[in-house]
Amino acid sequence: MTEEEREEFIEKVAIRVKEKLEEPRLIIHVLEHQAVGHGLVINPARAKATGCKCFEFEGEEYCWSPGVLGLMSSKKNPEQIAEYCVLGKEPGGAGARKRFTELKAAIGEAHKEWEEEGGDLKKWWGKTGEKLAEKGIEL
């Protein structure tokens, strides 16, 4: 899968999630962050025109914003937080850190198994779905 095809695929997933939910759940942001290590800016104007929701985890700040698919990280890409959280930061909710911890662990396990087996992005998403279901984490 080319970089362009991957971005197209992720954008389609984001649109489907957004259509089903008023606000995308944290899981889609965590999945994108785990896959590429940063937020994928889908709508820069919207991202700059809205505030961010953030939480701390192991000394790192993670934020998400409408218009950005994935988490922005204070260590991995602080420039994204500086650019897209200019209107302020709100706490991500009491459960954000706990949910992030659970998701990160499940996705990490899936990623390890996927690497051992080898495979493409489709297999990674499949393995991730299996691991999330095994842990009782709903999409």
pLDDT at position 74: 92
pLDDT tens figures, 98-135: 777 787 788 788 878 888 887 776 676 677 777 777 87
| Beta bridge partner(s), residue 61 | 56
Q: Where are the alpha helices (DSSP H) in the chain?
A: 3-20, 26-36, 44-48, 78-84, 96-117, 121-134
pTM: 0.60
Is 104 domain-assigned?
yes
Is 59 domain-assigned?
yes
Q: What is the mean pLDDT of the chain?
A: 76
Is 139 domain-assigned?
no
pLDDT tens figures, 84-95: 999 999 988 767
Is 91 domain-assigned?
yes
Q: What percent of the chain has pLDDT over 70?
A: 72
Domain that residue 122 falls in: 3-134
- Strand 52-57 versus strand 89-91 pairing type: parallel
Is 46 domain-assigned?
yes
Question: How far is Cα 127 from Cα 62, in angstroms, rounded to an integer?
Answer: 24
Is 31 domain-assigned?
yes
Is 8 domain-assigned?
yes
Structurally, the chain folds into a number of domains equal to 1
pLDDT higher than threshold 80 for residue 72: yes
